A and B are shown apart, each in its own frame.
Chain A
Amino acid sequence: MESLQKTYLYDEHVKLGGKIVPFAGWDMPVQYTSVKDEVLAVRNNVGVFDVSHMGEFFVEGKDAEAFVDSLVTNDIQGAEMGKAIYSPLCREDGTVIDDLIVYKLTTGHVMICVNASNIDKDFNWIKSKHTGFKCNLTNKSSEYSLLALQGPKSFEILRPLLRELPDLEYYSVFQTEFGTHQVIIARTGYTGEDGFEIFGSHEAIKALWQKFMTLKVVPCGLAARDVLRLEVCYPLYGHELNDEVNPYDAGLGWTVKGAKTNFIGKEALASKKARYKLVKLVLERGIPREGYPVLNGKNEAIGVVTSGTMSVVTNKGIAFARIEIDKVPADEVFNVDIRQKSYPAQLVKKPFVTGGHK
């Protein structure tokens, strides 16, 4: 058996009674007390996640912005300095290698945060495209720890702990100090609520985690994180996104900026061809789970659930489902096959839950 990596906070999670499970090659806390309580802490108050397993790449030099812009579908060069930009990273054929966040720290300094399971795949890909640009590319994933402080009380908890923290816009980034430690603070997260992601050295992040615990911030695990992101309809790599689909297949057409001069995948994505439609389904009864077949009104298979759970906020079954584009039913009648029984599902256009982020 392959040995799993542990974040620098592993012992803290165990001390808190966190249930540890393998995830993307890491031993990660899936929950501490109750998934429900952790979800509600983030929606109504404040919670914190150790997401140190995620990867951090740095691109530095004169062409840093231009290089990153050439890699991803969203507009990096056009965004203001200090912004964070969500984007797919695509191959020439438009398929998605990963989805990531690009942070424009200062001129010539860009940080990219990627999914833990894709660190090596992404870095090798980006390195292979790193020709003709005047900038350095470094993978500092093992040097950084990362916390996501999420919930309406995030700002009031975090501000007094830092040398300085302006009331940042959503999807903005700021560099400051926590004690003697340099930290990178971004008003991002994957829960739909207001909150911050804090990147720093292992020592800095451990000290910050311990500080959060004394302030009664609720430690939250991966299970709560997954419910939170699904409630607000954020896609997750390995579920809605994978090596086979393009951004249009996953409802991410808005991240493809065809007007950009050039980027990898531009030509393939210009036709905006989708093989699938990603839909949002609500079940009054039954809980949809990943892999369950989705059926039309005649109970014919038309797609599959990519993520599903019971929503803590609405107390209903909710799912993302990938439907074959030519089988999307005109009458919008959907059913989910749960253990060989057909359960009615309602198509919704808006996210299941509206988060409170800025």
Chain B
Amino acid sequence: MSTNIPGNLKYTKEHEWALVEGDTVTVGITDFAQSALGDIVFLEVPEVGSELKNGSTFGVVESIKSVSDLYAPVSGEVIARNTDLEGSPERINQDAYGSWLIKVKVKDKNDLANLLTAEQYQEFCNTSH
């Protein structure tokens, strides 16, 4: 059971983390998610300029044996992608919170209210797995 859930981040039930800074949201996958996936070997995230829709899939992360969809925590435009991960997605296994995937410019700030707090996400992980 993962206990690595930083208090300064927000979370989704699909195990993404979100760092909210003004109207910019930095998105990654949680330590729980990387641990469940195992050795991450492939990552696909949208180009800068793509529009994301809250709750919809925006990319995939693949381990040796599995494919998992990534879900957008908010609606908005992709303003950056972490090119450091392109050749070495295994960094997500080593440091899930240091390995952000994309940055999104939030379209509707109401989306932020629906994200889980660290406490809520911890509770979610405890009860659903």
Contacts and interface: CB of A to CB of B under 8 A. Distances in A.
Interface of A: 30-31, 34-36, 223, 226-227, 286-287, 289, 309-310, 312, 315, 339
Nearest to B62: A287
**What DSSP secondary structure best describes chain A's contact surface?**
mixed
Interchain residue pairs A-B with the least CB separation, the first 3: A310-B41, A223-B65, A36-B39
Contacts of A31: 38
B41 A287 contact: yes
A339 B67 CA distance: 11
B60 interface: yes
A352 to B, nearest CB: 14
Contact of B63 (A35, A226, A339): A35
A35 B60 CA distance: 19
Interface of B: 38-39, 41-42, 44, 60, 62-65, 67
B71 to A, nearest CB: 15
Contact of B38 (A35, A309, A339): A35
Contacts of B41: 287, 310, 315
A34 B38 contact: yes
A315 B90 CA distance: 12
A36 B64 CA distance: 8
A31 B63 CA distance: 13
A213 B62 CA distance: 30
B56 to A, nearest CB: 14
B38 to A, nearest CB: 6
A310 B64 contact: yes
A31 B38 CA distance: 9
Contacts of B39: 34-36
Nearest to A315: B41
28 contacts: A30-B65, A31-B38, A34-B38, A34-B39, A35-B38, A35-B39, A35-B63, A35-B64, A35-B65, A36-B39, A36-B64, A223-B64, A223-B65, A226-B65, A227-B65, A286-B42, A287-B41, A287-B42, A287-B67, A289-B67, A309-B64, A309-B65, A310-B41, A310-B64, A312-B64, A315-B41, A339-B44, A339-B60
Given A227-B64, A287-B67, A309-B64, 8 more contacts: A34-B39, A35-B39, A36-B39, A223-B38, A223-B65, A227-B65, A289-B67, A310-B41
Contacts of A287: 41-42, 62, 67
